Amino acid sequence: MIVTVKNSGPKNYVMKIISVVALVAMFTAYYFHMSDEFSSNNGKSTSKQSMEEIKKEDSKEVEKLIYKEVETAVELVGQEHIQDVKIVKNKILLVCDTDTNLDALKVRYGTLALIKNDLNNIKIAIDIKYIIESKLNEK
């Protein structure tokens, strides 16, 4: 059996009023704080030219990362075994000789490297999207 006791005296009524006033005070303080934050952010907004410069710098950085990944992939396979290298969308496409040792490449890239054996060559597609995202998040 559950028994509840209600206190309906003036002390309980005063506590309710104080808690409501405190709640309203917290919301108004939060409102004024956030309005100050938004007004300071609007004053710091950058112009379109600086945004374009930032995008250009980011694209150059991504281009350098892609170039480094292609270099490491070619070094892992061995440059003498490479027939062709292409970058298509988010993938590096390597075309190698059939007698190429791909163990180092498999260890480095794991499931990100898709390997297809043909009669004339071996085609390797390396997904660089996640690699670049992880490198950019490191910085």
User: Would you list the domain boundaries of the chain?
Assistant: 9-41, 57-138
Contact 73, 94 (CB under 8 A): yes
pLDDT at 10: 81
Which pLDDT band, with edges at 50, 70 and 90, does 48 fall under? low
Contact 102, 77 (CB under 8 A): yes
Average pLDDT of the residues in 120-135: 89
At residue 131, φ and ψ (nearest 5 deg) are -65, -45
Residue 100 vs residues 81, 85, 86, 124: alpha-carbon distances, Å: 6, 15, 18, 11
pLDDT at 30 over 90: yes
pLDDT at 71: 93
Query: What distance in Å separates the CA atoms of residue 34 and residue 30, rounded to the nearest whole number?
Result: 6
pTM confidence score: 0.59
pLDDT tens-place string over residues 49-81: 777 888 888 889 889 999 999 999 999 999 999
Query: What distance in Å separates the CA atoms of residue 61 and residue 52, rounded to the nearest whole number?
Result: 14
Length of the chain: 139
H or E segment to which residue 32 belongs? helix 10-43
